[in-house]
Amino acid sequence: MTGSQKISDFRPRASRRGITLMELLVVVGILLILVVLSARQVIPAMKQSRVRETARTINIYLSGARNRAMATGRPCGVVFQRDGNLMEVATVFHQAEVPPPYSGDAVGTAVTMSTTGVGTASANVTGAFDASLVRQGDLMRINYQGYWYTITNVSGSSLTLTTDLGTGGRLPWPTSGQSLPLPFEILRQPVASAAGEYEAAKTTVVDLAFSGTETNPTLFAGGGSAPVTVMFSPNGSIQRVYMGNTHFVPTESIYLLVGRREQALSPLEPGLYRNWQDTRSFWVAISPQTGLVTSAEVSGGTGAAGVPADVIMSRQLARDAQTTGGR
């Protein structure tokens, strides 16, 4: 022992005390509580982010189809494919284009027209003609001008058309007997383009049950399995909107409601609002004249519990709100 060392330096030191099982369980319990509290904040934010992401993607998809139509000089659009398990929603979207007009497979192919009833006519094709390229719902016109008639049936080289021209319209063929052979062209319905499809972010959908036009807010409801297709013309406007074999030229804005899948179910789970009532949902609107696409969140209304009173009010509040893109 040297002079600088003390006796206390040689005393045994007490062993270091570790963490007991009880203390470890307390720490784990506190961490679990913190995780649960954080999840209550994070999960709604994640759902909101998914809805916003889907709304923005639809905005981009529609705007891209419009730009493509203007660049190529041919109609282009977007198909909203209904979900096989819930027909009132769409979860998969892809671009579509219209095939070139079809006038037969050889020069001189023509049709002889005859009126078969009130608002109906028969077109019998003479010459080279591939019936597999034509389907119910395609449009046909005679002499490359005038009205487009809807094809309601295809049976080989015999086509059935609807000829409702409205007040004052006249058919370009005799009302009795058969016409002379006449040239024609068929405007075929859109088909999927080579562009890849997009699937909505998890649990988010386009709620077709409450999507439609200004005066018909639920136009796309009850369409069965038929997809909804919005087509743009080369000048940027909406050319036509298709739903199965039916189609129309819109004169007012098209509204698509983007929300959550569980809020599109019927009946709703307790405590849930419809997507058009939920301020986390989005409206995507398309102008028929310009084709411009805008999107805005559903805003709180003056109805019960501070939600919009109806679908029309929900859209009005969205129009008044700040848009999130597409201008």
What is the C-alpha to C-alpha distance for residues 232 and 327, in angstroms, rounded to an integer? 17
Q: What is the mean pLDDT of the chain?
A: 85
CA angle centred on 289, ends 245 and 98, rounded to 5°: 40
How do residues 218-256 score in pLDDT, each as one tens digit? 999 987 888 999 999 999 999 999 988 788 999 999 999
How do residues 94-120 score in pLDDT, each as one tens digit? 999 989 999 999 999 999 999 988 889
Quick one: what percent of the chain has pLDDT higher than 70? Answer: 85
Homologous superfamily (CATH) of 50-98+191-320 is minor pseudopilin epsh domain (3.55.40.10)
Band (pLDDT 50/70/90 cuts) for residue 81 is: very high
319: helix, strand or coil: helix
Sequence spans of domains, the chain? 50-98+191-320, 110-187
81: helix, strand or coil: strand
Return the residue matching tokens 């954080």.
Answer: 38
Sequence length of the chain is 327
Quick one: what percent of the chain has pLDDT higher than 90? Answer: 50
What is the C-alpha to C-alpha distance for residues 124 and 289, in angstroms, rounded to an integer? 36
How do residues 161-192 score in pLDDT, each as one tens digit? 998 766 556 888 888 889 999 999 999 989 88
Class at the top of the CATH hierarchy for domain 110-187: mainly beta
Mean pLDDT within 40-61: 75
Helices (H), the chain: 21-72, 311-320
